[in-house]
Structure 1
Amino acid sequence: FVALHMHAGDGNVHTNLPVNSDHYEMLQEANGTVERIMALARSLGGVISGEHGIGITKYEFLTP
């Protein structure tokens, strides 16, 4: 399950993956989903910084 909300005017798409952080398999699946979403965004010419900048959770996706 991935929830999306977006700003139609500026093209921002936000993803929200609800995860029980104490459920290892769910956390691993969510991490894989995030990797696929980031790769898709980059392949479409998108950026991952959006309106909130880069934090430690997005840093690894900045390198090509």
Structure 2
Amino acid sequence: MQLIDQLPPILTVKQVAELMGWHPNTVYQRCTSGDLPSFKSGNTRRIRREAYLEWIKRMEAGN
């Protein structure tokens, strides 16, 4: 398991999927729905590390 400070500042959908144990399509759907903040870089979605960590906190809190 990677330590939080070892995560790159910008994550790919695949990296988030691996961290969550989810299929990449699930992460992509969360991104495109706006549930998981992300941005497009060319034809791919990217997630800021800070946005990912805040999203995890929101999920833990049930919000």
TM-score (norm 2): 0.28
Q: Name whichever structure is richer in helix by fraction.
A: 2
Q: Could you say which structure has the greater relative contact order, defined with CA pairs below 8 angstroms and 6 or more residues apart? A: 2
**Length-normalised TM-score, structure 1:** 0.28
